Amino acid sequence: MLSSLKTAARALYNLYPIATKPGDFLRDPMPEALRQHEASGEPSLNRVGWQLVTSAQMEGPLYERWCTLARDTRVKHRKVWEWVYILEVLKQHGMLAEGKRGLGFGCGTEPLSALMASMGCEILATDLDEATAQKQGWWKTHQHAGGLAQLNEAQICDPDLFARKVAYRSCDMNAIPNDLRGFDFVWSSCSLEHLGSLENGLEFIERSMDCLKPGGVAVHTTEFNLGTNDKTLETRATVAYRKKDIEGLALRLIGKGYKIPLINFSPGDRMLDRVVDRPPYRHSHLKLLVSRHLLTSIGLFVVK
Ligand SMILES: C[S@@+](CC[C@H](N)C(=O)[O-])C[C@H]1O[C@@H](n2cnc3c(N)ncnc32)[C@H](O)[C@@H]1O
């Protein structure tokens, strides 16, 4: 009853969206210091950069192969794209190989740890401690890892190999312990927007670099606001990054001597790119309205 009321309230609120189409500001030139990072053309998974999810990236054998390996049937969903983006970035940097050490944050029940372990990686998967996850509702919605068992639910990795390769511990992304160091790669999917503020998420990305060896790769996906470069969604529970926040992050990371790739803000314009989902959300969407904001997913990676 309460959840239907909440859904109805959200639907009513979204009757007056701030935008239903990606804004023209996405095509504005980036700050001078980022000009050499400006991508041209449509984003592709064959040459990954910082990019938004688009329908075109979901066509072809590369995307299909990862979906098959992840045993996910939703396929044309931005959440699945986020996992594929992370896997493809790591593959292109030679990280999905025997003996490479990976650290996952806010892992929930995602299939990535199992898939990486099946490819020979040694994984430390982490998530919020159980009591806080229960308080924040992650437990109730089956979005919290809770332990090792949930991470290989789909039996993606042979259970013996999984037991040898994957460890689990709780970790607050707002307070990464100092002993989490020396990894080849770190990742998070759909988690850093839940750290309490825009700045907390950005600081998390910066601090996740401390966990890497030189030459290591950090890859993260999060929420991006397509409708405005002005006032965005920022609540304790969820935030959505604007073009200017992403550009600011790029400058911060470059300033610290890290390497970032080309940045592409193209939202795509195929049929599926033009569909905007509203509450109650359907299974397959790339763009959706949340609290009147038009949101999508963005993938980011940084090399130390
Ligand atoms: C939307 S779920 C995403 C789960 C998983 N990464 C996926 O892609 O399916 C958000 C995750 O972030 C975790 N989370 C939220 N706040 C966190 C924090 N402060 N530290 C660590 N994890 C956090 C939640 O427990 C949950 O697992």
The rounded Å distance from CA 158 to ligand 1 centre is 25
pLDDT of residue 145: 72
In the chain, where are the structural domains located? 2-106+171-303
User: What pTM was estimated for this model as a whole?
Assistant: 0.96
Instruction: Name which residue sits closest to atom 10 of ligand 1, judged by CA.
Output: 191
Q: pLDDT in tens for each of the 304 residues of the chain?
A: 666 777 677 777 777 888 989 999 999 999 999 999 999 899 999 999 999 999 999 998 999 999 888 887 667 889 999 999 999 999 999 999 999 999 999 999 999 999 999 999 999 999 998 888 888 887 777 777 777 888 998 899 999 999 999 999 999 999 999 999 999 999 999 999 999 999 999 999 999 999 999 999 999 999 999 999 999 999 999 999 999 999 999 999 999 999 999 999 999 999 999 999 998 887 679 999 999 999 999 999 999 9
Give the Cα separation of 185 and 244 in Å (integer). 26
pLDDT of residue 74: 64
Instruction: Name which residue sits closest to atom 9 of ligand 1, judged by CA.
Output: 110
Ligand 1 residue neighbourhood (C-beta within 6 Å): 105-108, 110, 127-128, 133, 138, 143-144, 172-174, 189-191, 194-195
pLDDT of residue 144: 76
Instruction: Name which residue sits closest to atom 13 of ligand 1, judged by CA.
Output: 106
Q: Per the omega criterion (within 30 degrees of 0), is the bond before 261 cis?
A: no
pLDDT of residue 2: 67
Burial (0-12, 13-18, 19+ Cβ within 10 Å), 284: middle
